[in-house]
Structure formats: structure tokens, C-alpha cells
Structure 1
Amino acid sequence: MKPWIETAPFINSYVGQTESTNLLLNSWCNEKTVAQFTTVVAGFQTAGRGQRGNKWESDEGMNLLFSTVLYPIFLAVKQQFLLSQIISLAVKEVLDSFSEGFSIKWPNDIYHCDKKIAGILIENDLSGNTISRTIVGTGLNINQEAFHSDAPNPISLRQITGTVHDRKDILQAVMLRLMEYYNQLSNGETEEISSRYLASLYRSRGMHTYTDASGEFQAEIFTVSPEGYLWLKDDKGALRKYAFKEVQYIL
């Protein structure tokens, strides 16, 4: 397969169709030595996956569907949420160059106002107390004009800006930003990463409606812990701690 971007500072391969770029890249890594930042881009996925088995809708050739491999052996398992932070920041900050209103919906969805433009699936392989391999799958809606699934709130960059965008240029920009953040991470510069992540969160200010196993409530984001737990402070002043999928945003 030929590189999708001829002058990319990372190894990239384009496939017209695959079941899932994460599955494809994982199989490559299991069969041979694959260099860090190797990226697989697909025109269409027959079984694109999101978090917890959710499906990702994308018309053929309209959006960015790609997976990248990292080898963050310098990171302890308890620090794995930092990977989620740098990846979501890289995508969000590239989108910021096109329009205002982008944010990161905890843990790593990318939103424009109250609509979802990107989803990220991170799969880690562990070796003892460290992370031996990470495969990051990203679905980023670029040029799709309409969505047909029952997903509640998708949006594309074209719908936001009214313009058709070059997917290759956007991928290049995301990867360059990710490489910068990954270098910071490998140098132990984690405080700036975490502070940027917190500042970029969807609903980072004010009281909003959430729901958990006990029902709906009003709360504001208090913090996100280094392990990735979301801490909310409700309207009675009580702190509530949540793992992924234990609380839902009422949009």
C-alpha cells in the first residue's frame, strides 16, 4: 500500500476498506515489527468501533478514520489517562484553527458546542506495571453532509464551516500535534498537559444536568483525577466521583 501522505513525518498506509483500522493495525503489530506512529487510514470501515462497543457512522471517503500505534513504555499503567489527554488535545487543538466552540467531552470525545465531531478509542497492551503498546483509533467527521444513524448529535467540520476540507492536511496537522505532545509526555512534562486538558473540557464551567444510577442532578465539573475519574460537585456541595459510563451528560 502506498503512503496516503507522501511527505508525512510518520509512516502511513491507506486502505480503501477494512473492518476496523484498530483491528487491522493490531494484526500488523502482532505479525511484525511496526514503527511507532505508524498510521493506518481507511476510506470506509465495515465495523468501525467506538468506546464500549458503540459503532461509528461514516460515509465512504468523507471523513478521517485512522489508527496509530505508540509504544509508551515510559508510562506506568496508572498514568495511562495521560494518553487520552494528549490525543484528545491534539484533535481538539487542530479543529480550533477552523472555528470556535470545540471542547473535549470527558473522557475523550470531541464536541462542537453540544454536538459530537470526533470519537477516540484507545486500546493498551500492558507489560507488568508499564504500557507496552497503545493503538489509538480516531473517527473525525470532516466532509459528511448528513448523518443517517440513530446517533443523537453528530456533526461534521463541513457542516460547521460550510467548506469542504482536505482530509490529508488535517491528518498531518493532528499527527504533528500528537507528536509534540508525546514528546512532552516522554519528558515528564505532565502538569501542562493536564491543565490544558481541564481547561478544554466540555461544560468546564457552571452547573449542568447529569444523570447516574440514582437519577438526574445538577453539578459542575470539579476536576478529573490523574487516573481519569471525573469529579463533579453537585448543587448541594457534595463531591461525586465517576468512572467512564457511570455518569451521563444530559444534553
Structure 2
Amino acid sequence: MGKIKWERSFPSQVYTKWAGKSVYYYKSINSTNVKAHELAAQGARHGSVVLADKQTAGRGRRGRQWDSPPGENLYFTLLLYPKLPARKASMLTLVMALAVGKALGEVTGHEIWIKWPNDMVLNGKKVAGILTEMQARNDEIDHVIIGVGVNVARREFEGELAEKATSLENEVENQVTREALLAGILEHFEILYEMFCLKGNMRDLRQAYESYLINKGRQVLVLDPTGEFAGIALGINDTGELQVQLKDGTVQSVYAGEVSVRGVYGYV
């Protein structure tokens, strides 16, 4: 796949009302999330997108580095100004995951899964990740940024990544352009976001989200700062928390925060 060309006409190619109508493109940048925070402070509009062909300091959940080589993947951050309490911001990760799942399914023709809360899975391996951050004032959201990284054309993965990461190029026969993928994600997200904002929870999106949830019905191992426990993932509740049934039959709600969830015997 050739290097992406973010033409100035791209916003007009996205069939949305506001998502992606302002695009800030950088050939190389430290992090699209960092830049999105800066743009928010400068008054960038709701739905603005920060795109990069390369990130020098990309990161994922819990400060992990997100490997971001040039010209191979899709890196973007979406800036939002939701009128919601700060405690609801984490649910936007799930909304974006659902949008990415729908768009990936359309452009690849393959079955796409979500590993709660923020990993996208193709053929048992991670193909994309999502990182949501926010700034708040008096417990109200000032702005939210949602960073998305999709492995599109990368062929080689080293070390630990070789066992659990993949790319569209490695798994899909048809060529996927990053322009088409980004447009699809933004179009789906705008619809899902507006549905989410009507009630401020996942109630109306819960069934759709769970249809992508690879953890559902499986044994999972929950790792948090206080220890770990195993159980069966039942799905999510209306606030996006993973519901895990323990051996004694009780159900534990797991909040994304600093928690990691994986399969008992591997990544999923």
C-alpha cells in the first residue's frame, strides 16, 4: 500500500454533519492525542480530527507505548465537547470501539471483535487500539479526545507483539485504504455518539456492543492494582462496566480505569 494522501477535499468525502469536518494533518508528530489537547485549548471545533502519518511518542492505555512507524497505519484523534459529567467519559471508548468494529467489518468483509474495553481483534489478534482522555472542570467535561490506531499495512511485528498483534495487510485479501477506513469510522461514530448522548449511557448501544464482544461467555482474568480474579464475562452494564460472574455466582462490575482483562490462557 502506498503512503496515504490526506487531500484537502477529504472532509467533503465524509458523509457526516460534524465529525471530521475540520482535519489537521501532520506528516510526523509526537502524538495526535497531545496535539488534540493543544487544539482544544485554542478553540478547535467539535468533531475536529488530528491525523498523522507517523507518531514519535504514540501511547496506549496505562502509558504503554504504541508503536507508530511511518506510512503503514492509521493514526487519528477525534476532539469532542460533550455536555456530560466527567464520570461518563470512559463510555466513549466503547462507543468508538463499536464504530471501529462496524467500519472494519465493512471494509474488510471479515468478522471483527472487541476485547473489552478498547482493543479491536481480527483472527484472534489485536489490529487496533483506542485511548480516551479528557479535561474536566468542576466534575463536568471540558473536552474529550479519542485516539485510534489501526494496523493497516504493517507486515512485521517483533517480540511480544508477534504473538498478539496483526494488521489488515496480513489478514485481509482485499486492499483497504486508510481514507475509506477513516471515513467509515467517523460516519459510524457520529451516529452512535448522538444515540449515546440522548441518555448518557450505553443502554441503547449495549446489545450492538455485546454482539462484537469477544470476551462474552468466556473465562477472563481481571488484573487490577489490588490483585487478580477470574470469572465468566457476561457482557456490559448500562455504564459500560464489564460484568464478570465469579465462582460463587456473584457478579462483579469491572470499571476500565487501571484494570486489564485478558483470557485465562492468552490474549483473548
Task: Determine if the TM-score, normalized by the shorter chain, exceeds 0.5.
Answer: yes
Contact 1:38-1:68 at 8 Å conserved across structures: yes
In 2, distance between residues paired with 1:188 and 1:248?
27
Contact 1:63-1:142 at 8 Å conserved across structures: yes
Contact 2:11-2:22 at 8 Å conserved across structures: no
Contact 2:73-2:149 at 8 Å conserved across structures: yes
How far residue 179 of structure 1 moved from its aligned partner, in angstroms, is 1.0
Contact 1:21-1:137 at 8 Å conserved across structures: yes
Contact 1:231-1:242 at 8 Å conserved across structures: yes
In 1, distance between residues paired with 2:153 and 2:68?
10
How far residue 47 of structure 1 moved from its aligned partner, in angstroms, is 0.7
Contact 2:213-2:235 at 8 Å conserved across structures: no
Q: Which deviates more from structure 2 when the two are superposed, residues 134-143 or residues 188-197?
A: 188-197
Contact 1:82-1:194 at 8 Å conserved across structures: no
| Number of aligned positions between the proteins | 247
How far residue 81 of structure 1 moved from its aligned partner, in angstroms, is 3.3
What per-residue deviation string (whole Å, max 9, x for no partner) do you get for residues 52-85 of structure 1?
1111123311110001100001x22232233122
Structure 2: unaligned runs, 5 residues or longer = 1-5, 15-20
> Is residue 109 from structure 1 mapped to residue 119 from structure 2 by the alignment?
yes
Give the match for residue 46 of structure 1.
Answer: 56
The 3-state SS of whatever aligns with 2:216 is coil
How far residue 236 of structure 1 moved from its aligned partner, in angstroms, is 4.1
In 1, distance between residues paired with 2:213 and 2:23?
30
Give the match for residue 3 of structure 2.
Answer: none
Give the match for residue 12 of structure 2.
Answer: 7
> Is residue 193 from structure 1 mapped to residue 198 from structure 2 by the alignment?
no
> Identity over the aligned pairs, expressed in percent?
23
How far residue 199 of structure 1 moved from its aligned partner, in angstroms, is 2.6
What amino acid sits opposite 1:155 in the alignment? T
How far residue 143 of structure 1 moved from its aligned partner, in angstroms, is 1.3
The 3-state SS of whatever aligns with 1:57 is coil
What per-residue deviation string (whole Å, max 9, x for no partner) do you get for residues 180-221 of structure 1?
11222233385221222223211212x42425465664x321
Structure 1: unaligned runs, 5 residues or longer = none
What amino acid sits opposite 2:259 in the alignment? E
> Is residue 20 from structure 1 mapped to residue 31 from structure 2 by the alignment?
yes
The 3-state SS of whatever aligns with 1:44 is coil
How far residue 242 of structure 1 moved from its aligned partner, in angstroms, is 2.8
Contact 1:85-1:194 at 8 Å conserved across structures: no
What per-residue deviation string (whole Å, max 9, x for no partner) do you get for residues 1-43 of structure 1?
963725244211211100001111211222x220111111101
What amino acid sits opposite 2:255 in the alignment? A
Give the match for residue 138 of structure 1.
Answer: 148
> Is residue 203 from structure 1 mapped to residue 215 from structure 2 by the alignment?
yes
What amino acid sits opposite 1:19 in the alignment? N
Q: How does 1:22-171 map to 2 (within 5 A)?
A: 22-30=33-41, 32-73=42-83, 75-97=84-106, 98-148=108-158, 150-151=160-161, 152-171=163-182
